[in-house]
Chain A
Amino acid sequence: MNLDFGNEYADFRNEVQSFCEQYKGIHVTGSLYSYESVMDPNEKPKIEMDYKEWQKILIEHGYHVRHIPKEYGGFGGDLDIVKNVIITEEFSKSKIPTGVGGQGIDFLVPTLLEMGTEEQRQRYIQPALYLDEIWCQGYSEPNAGSDLASLQTKGELVGDEWVINGQKIWTSTAKYAQMMFCLVRTEPEASKHQGISYLLIPMDTPGIEVRPLVDMTLDAGFNEVFFTDVRIPAENIVGERGQGWLVANKTLVHERGSLGDPNKMIRRYDKLVNLMKSEILDGVRIIDKPVYRDRLMKIHGKILALKSHGLRLLSGRLNKGQDINLGTMIVKLYGTEMRYELETLAIDVMGELGTLYNNSPHLRDNGGWQYAYMYYLGLIIGGGTSQIQKNIISERGLGLPKEPKIQGA
């Protein structure tokens, strides 16, 4: 056991701390992604800044997408996860928002770095990092959700163009996106998993229609996307024809890992404690009522477990011999279910007030609790449902037998 990162990191931490000092109290505006407000709502922002400008500052200092090579618009730092951990910790302590990720930066960019062509990297990475091009993920279809590999949107190579027909659904941010990375069936003769290709589609291509879907938060967070004879250049494919499933699975791994960030959970817990201190029931602070305290402490126990687990996962990535296979598999299930439990308590401590929404009088924290309570249910479902996670854990983690195949499925 050794929790010390060593001297070289002490210097790095100092550097990050002085940066944080400089931007303490910053309020970032205008983002399409909800910056989970890290600031105390009662505090007046010292600096207001547009999200793109903030993103640029962070990248230039190496505090976001640090390891992306300079030639693609990144900082060109080493792939040093310890430094990333220090950045997240220090930003979290100083309540400064970290850089924006999203589908482009979190999923597309790593995929291109691993499997894209040089032209694709040159063309797409930089605009994605600086949020000049927003990406959406076109995977799910009406008849292909958990069973994603059964997707049917069709891509045909005609001359030097892919011609795409079909429909995607639940596509988050498609309404604002300039680009989509998309799974399309290009080899109808091949088996289910071998017939898919990973294509990059400009959203302004004729034949694409985006219809917003209102979700339960009453935002239109996701969309339906229809393709009618959509033509894109043949070179807009990542990996080979029929390799799309493999390419996509690389990014799913990235996606699931990002859902259990203990720093976020701790900040949210602190907010909940504040809420419970300020809510009064029959003249008594909620935080002083044993039944609510106990639920709070139960959640806190899980957060401490997750926080420690984060150290173990980090250690497993730094020390190759340490087995974190099962430990990695549980993160999406554990993180999203726990976050939902936390938001549920927040609603309960407010009682009837907890159901207020839509700029109602008496709304607490701009309605953020009720919003998050619904939003995190979405995350339990999106990116592989909790049930699918349990299938993965039990079959690949514990080695339990697969279900017998049904003929024709």
Chain B
Amino acid sequence: MYFGLSEEQQFFQESIDKFLEDTVTVDALRSYRTGEDDNLIDDVFNGLNELGLSGLIIPEEYGGLGLDSLFAISVSESLGKGVAPYPFIGSFLIAPFLINKLGSDSQKQKYLPSIANGEYRFAVALTEMTGRRIEKGIQSSKQKLSGQSLFVMDDIHSTHYLILDSDGALHIVEAEESGLEKVELKTVDITSFVSELKLDQVKTEDLGNGPGNIDAIKQAINLGRVAIASETLGASQSMLNRSVDYAKERKQFGRPIGSFQAVKHMCAQMASDLEPCYSMVWYAAHSIDHIPHEADLMACQTKAHLSEVGAFVAKTSTEVHGGMGFTDDLGLHYWFKRIGLNRQLLGSPDLLREEAAEAQGI
């Protein structure tokens, strides 16, 4: 029996961590935000693809690494830790997962290798199933899609969209298709890419339409939710680590602030809340592949729980830094905001808890 990440997974995490520490510095994020540097996104994209992230879960026969859900979420932990501006979950987990599960042979041939090599970039629009906030969503009739989708995830230089309609059917749409309008949305988190799509009689390609569809979509959403939770875990751990380091160095009243109990106890509470989250995220990921009857419940609860722990850590670690925590200079807010956006994506915690109650028959 072994419950945890393998050596290989930990090793892989370390190489991502190293790359992100060097590339996604707070200075780099600031230059990107102010528009001085427009290479950051591409540098991160190319660098992480080179490590294999774009093809991580794509089967080897289609040019990927063929790794499992646990591996995938161990990667997203690192991406959260380093606030990577990289469309991992939508473009490289959910999209290839669904194409691989539901696509015909020729669709797999067409899309998977090109996703793995970074040529095709899918954004995903799943809000029909994870909380629709507009009156009318996406309707499909006669191979044409019309309507509106808020929020589309991971929409950065997209070549394709994967869209769920209000009947639960999936569609692939090319980004250049006529009748498709993309409105870029700006959230607080500059490291994520979300948009609104407006569709007017847009030509589409169906992705699977059999009875297995709904299960596969649920599984993909589970994977997405656990991966987001894991990102939040990584981001939170990073904030805690920085708080502990800061508390050891910063002096007030002639002593390190970390020797004040109020500060100590803030850190201890963060650690105590975070520590069991590792196991929860691992177990949830493991259940997607191996314990299917627990997967829905685990995914809902894991994302809901991490959202709460993440929000607490984000707030508390900012407080540990005093005024510094509030500055753009220190840049702690990039992590704060990533955690904030993650909380809402693919279902906010309150909605997920309701889903969790239903998933256990109450």
Seen from chain A, the residues whose Cβ lies within 8 Å of a Cβ on chain B are: 1-6, 82, 273, 277, 287, 290, 293-294, 296-298, 300-302, 304-312, 314-316, 318-319, 322, 326-327, 330, 333-334, 387, 389-391, 393-395, 397-404
The distance in angstroms between the C-alpha atoms of A293 and B350, with both chains bound, is 10
B279–A311 contact, CB under 8 A? yes
A330–B255 contact, CB under 8 A? no
B264–A390 contact, CB under 8 A? yes
Within the complex, the shortest CB–CB distance from B144 to chain A, in Å, comes to 39
B259–A400 contact, CB under 8 A? yes
A301–B304 contact, CB under 8 A? yes
Within the complex, the shortest CB–CB distance from A240 to chain B, in Å, comes to 34
> What are the residues of chain A within 8 A of B362 when measuring CB–CB?
273, 277, 287, 293, 296
Known: A305-B279, A394-B268, A401-B256. 9 other contacts (CB 8 A): A296-B357, A297-B301, A304-B301, A307-B283, A333-B268, A333-B272, A387-B261, A398-B268, A398-B271
> What are the residues of chain A within 8 A of B1 when measuring CB–CB?
2-6, 82, 314-315, 318
B2–A315 contact, CB under 8 A? yes
> What are the residues of chain A within 8 A of B255 when measuring CB–CB?
401, 404
> What are the residues of chain A within 8 A of B271 when measuring CB–CB?
326, 330, 393-394, 397-398
Within the complex, the shortest CB–CB distance from B73 to chain A, in Å, comes to 11
Q: Which of B257-283 contact A (CB under 8 A)?
A: 258-261, 263-265, 267-269, 271-273, 275-280, 282-283
A322–B357 contact, CB under 8 A? no
A315–B357 contact, CB under 8 A? no
15 contacting pairs across A/B (C-beta < 8 A) = A300-B356, A301-B301, A302-B276, A304-B283, A306-B276, A309-B280, A333-B272, A334-B273, A390-B265, A390-B272, A391-B265, A393-B272, A398-B267, A399-B248, A400-B258
Contact of B279 among A273, A308, A333 (CB under 8 A): A308
| Secondary structure class of chain B's binding surface, majority of residues | helix
Within the complex, the shortest CB–CB distance from B360 to chain A, in Å, comes to 8
Within the complex, the shortest CB–CB distance from B14 to chain A, in Å, comes to 15
Most-contacted residue by chain A among B5, B256, B265 (CB, 10 A): B265
How extensive is the interface on chain B, given as a class? 35 or more
Interface string of B1-37 (1 = CB under 8 A from A): 1111110000000000000000000000000000000
Q: Is B101 an interface residue (CB 8 A)?
A: no
Q: Is B305 an interface residue (CB 8 A)?
A: yes
> What are the residues of chain A within 8 A of B275 when measuring CB–CB?
309, 326-327, 330, 334
The distance in angstroms between the C-alpha atoms of A322 and B279, with both chains bound, is 13
Q: Is B308 an interface residue (CB 8 A)?
A: yes
B3–A312 contact, CB under 8 A? yes
Contact of A330 among B4, B248, B272 (CB under 8 A): B272
Write the chain B residue with the least CB distance to A337: B272
A302–B305 contact, CB under 8 A? yes
Write the chain B residue with the least CB distance to A400: B258
Write the chain A residue with the least CB distance to B71: A1
Q: Is B286 an interface residue (CB 8 A)?
A: yes
Within the complex, the shortest CB–CB distance from B18 to chain A, in Å, comes to 20
Write the chain B residue with the least CB distance to A398: B244
Within the complex, the shortest CB–CB distance from A319 to chain B, in Å, comes to 6
B259–A401 contact, CB under 8 A? yes
Q: Which of B276-310 contact A (CB under 8 A)?
A: 276-280, 282-284, 286, 290, 297-298, 301-302, 304-305, 308
Q: Is B354 an interface residue (CB 8 A)?
A: yes
Write the chain A residue with the least CB distance to B5: A1
> What are the residues of chain B within 8 A of A302 when measuring CB–CB?
276, 305
Within the complex, the shortest CB–CB distance from A302 to chain B, in Å, comes to 7
Contact of B280 among A5, A296, A304 (CB under 8 A): A304
Q: Is B152 an interface residue (CB 8 A)?
A: no
> What are the residues of chain B within 8 A of A334 when measuring CB–CB?
272-273, 275-276
> What are the residues of chain B within 8 A of A296 when measuring CB–CB?
357, 362
Seen from chain B, the residues whose Cβ lies within 8 Å of a Cβ on chain A are: 1-6, 70, 244, 247-248, 255-256, 258-261, 263-265, 267-269, 271-273, 275-280, 282-284, 286, 290, 297-298, 301-302, 304-305, 308, 350, 353-354, 356-357, 362
> What are the residues of chain B within 8 A of A287 when measuring CB–CB?
362
A293–B302 contact, CB under 8 A? no
> What are the residues of chain A within 8 A of B297 when measuring CB–CB?
304
The distance in angstroms between the C-alpha atoms of A357 and B169, with both chains bound, is 56
> What are the residues of chain B within 8 A of A304 when measuring CB–CB?
280, 283, 297-298, 301-302, 305
Contact of B350 among A294, A307, A314 (CB under 8 A): A294
> What are the residues of chain A within 8 A of B261 when measuring CB–CB?
387, 390-391, 403
Within the complex, the shortest CB–CB distance from A388 to chain B, in Å, comes to 10
The distance in angstroms between the C-alpha atoms of A326 and B267, with both chains bound, is 13
Write the chain B residue with the least CB distance to A403: B259
A297–B280 contact, CB under 8 A? no
Given known pairs A318-B1, A404-B259, the reply for A395 and B264 (CB within 8 Å) is yes
A301–B272 contact, CB under 8 A? no
A312–B247 contact, CB under 8 A? no
The distance in angstroms between the C-alpha atoms of A397 and B240, with both chains bound, is 13
Within the complex, the shortest CB–CB distance from A305 to chain B, in Å, comes to 4
A1–B259 contact, CB under 8 A? no
> What are the residues of chain B within 8 A of A273 when measuring CB–CB?
362
The distance in angstroms between the C-alpha atoms of A305 and B259, with both chains bound, is 30
Write the chain B residue with the least CB distance to A288: B362
Contact of A311 among B272, B283, B305 (CB under 8 A): B283
> What are the residues of chain A within 8 A of B4 when measuring CB–CB?
1, 312, 315-316, 319, 322
Within the complex, the shortest CB–CB distance from A258 to chain B, in Å, comes to 17
> What are the residues of chain B within 8 A of A402 when measuring CB–CB?
259
B354–A2 contact, CB under 8 A? no
Write the chain B residue with the least CB distance to A334: B272
> What are the residues of chain B within 8 A of A404 when measuring CB–CB?
255, 259
Within the complex, the shortest CB–CB distance from B197 to chain A, in Å, comes to 32
Within the complex, the shortest CB–CB distance from B12 to chain A, in Å, comes to 14
